[in-house]
Structure 1
Amino acid sequence: MTLTTDAVCRSAVAADALDALTADPDKRELYRYDTYAREGLDSFAAMGALERSRGVTFVALKPDAVAGRRCRQLLDVLYEEGWFPLAATPVRFDPLLTRELWRYQFNAASQQRIAVVDHLLGSGPSLLVLLGDARRPAWMPASVRLTAAKGSADPEAARGRDLRTRIGRVNGLFNFMHTADDPADVVRELQLFSYQAGWQWCREALTSDGPGQPPEPGSGPAHDLLPQLEAAIPQHDLDLALSLRRLERGTDAWAELATTAAAPEHIGAWLAELARTPLPYGSARWDVLSVVTGWIDCNEPGVAPLLPTSSAAAWEPAAPGENPTAKEAERCLS
């Protein structure tokens, strides 16, 4: 006998398990079938931290933030805007972590971006920082407020006061930071990081009853780890034009490209070299990365991510008499 589809249960996650963690109905459905979201829900529940997932968020300071020495500046700007570090740990991106972290967005990534991203994120340690939020409205999760404030990865979509603009975003890949879009992503993505970092680094902060106490500016667990990261990644200006000039003075394949293919229309030659030649060591590595990240197209034209970033407005409480589906409609149009 063949069972009908209606008779088969395909998720161990309850239909309403994500209702309080995301305002996106598509995400609620997809994450019921997502292994990391399921395990994350179990991990947070075991710690008694599911409610806490609305009051905390995280930022991952990527290797380009370390190379460009933007980490202290970013932490200071976050502090000014009400976010403060509760816990921190070094992490390293690998190709699998990258693809699973952005599983529902990577479908829109260009082949050029795919060719470059592992070289960038694999260029050294990143810093994962759990953040408290001293200024969030009661109805808005900390992750949603930070997502709205950080700004787009694309410089062309920059706003004057967004966080990435304030710290000097360079291009679509040199954007320095990754954050969770909403509490569902806090749960899912911290689970992904936990396979490498465990939970001990943030368990106390996640199981605390209160919002946590802001440390003094320029101090705390994240600042304490920065010397370790900066010792692993040389400081670099991340300047494309200066990088080309420095590469020209070399004697390797990158020097030849900097001499004969020093224009964006030759990005194919650079990516072909990247596929067959290891990046140089030290500062020259960041010279090459500055060139290729500056010239690639990051996204496939006309291809939308499976889960776009939803609007913070979708979390606003409905006014008396307002259609409760209005916020979801706004999300779809944003």
Structure 2
Amino acid sequence: MFRVSRGFLVLLITLVSATLALSACSSPDDSASDGGAPIQVNTSKGSVTINGVPKRIVALGAQWIDVALSFGVTPVAYLDNIQVLTGKPAPWSSDQLKSSTALSTDGVVEQVAKAKPDLILATSYMADGQPEMYSQISKLAPTIPGITGKQIDPWQDMVTFLGTVLRQPEKAKEITAGVDDKVNATKKELPGLNGKTYTMAYMYSNDQIQVLGDPDDGATYLFRSLGMNIAPALVAGFRRNGQPRYPISTENVPLLDSDLLVLTANTDQLMSSLQKLPGYRNLRSVRSGAVSRLSVAEIGGLNEPTPLSIPYLLDKMHPALQKASV
């Protein structure tokens, strides 16, 4: 999600780490009675071997949580950056986590150890930004330090990977196809979205608005799939400063001009302040009603796309998308 100073859990999804070269290979006898032949995963942190099908998975990060749940696998314990920020799990996954243990940001290693995992799904930032913590955690069980090393792992790659680990490659294909079908249905229903522009804006202080400018960022997945592009003025800002997400001052509200505005704020008071800023009412999206106000948790689901968040958010944003398509 947009950069907020909340320590390790938020840094999980805001800092770019070194690229990983990851490949999973298994021998032909995956259906062996012992639960499957070992899978060896080569990462920038060394080779990781997963023996058999994991039964006790600890998921560190919102994307891994959702990917596991999409397979019908409830992590024995989880560390959710969205829950750390908002106090509760994301609305698309909360009902499925009632039997799982939520970990706090204090004493992470000890809590993971208590869960007795046989597989730990982590992120590349933990490996590169918190090497001491990663070193301790990776001694507890086979630990995967992210998939690609990108700021946001593509959810499709994560689904494919976990499908291989769980010996459910066909299920992985079904999950991906189901999300694609939902996106394609929206695209077919609203063909006018093709070529339209959008803005993602997050007001996090009285004088700063965070915007997304990198057209290749993981948060653009859904909009790219619908044929939409980030507002050119914001892309130009990214080209100048090199920051995928960067702050603009409140007097620069006109930079938010686009066909669709996806908006959130830390508090209702900040949201109200944003809507009263000079230039806000003149934005094309505001004039047409193509504004989707999302919660902090929901904007997190756009910034970290998952097979659970995408269908939920398509439904949530549908009224605004419909107006933007005209």
Global fold match (TM > 0.5): no
* TM-score bucket of the superposed structures, by smaller chain: under 0.3
Which of the pair has the greater relative contact order for Cα pairs under 8 Å at 6+ separation? 1
When you count strand as a share of all residues, which structure comes out higher? 2
- Give the alignment's TM-score, normalised by structure 1: 0.22
- Give the alignment's TM-score, normalised by structure 2: 0.23
User: Quick check: which has more Rg, 1 or 2?
Assistant: 1
When you count helix as a share of all residues, which structure comes out higher? 1
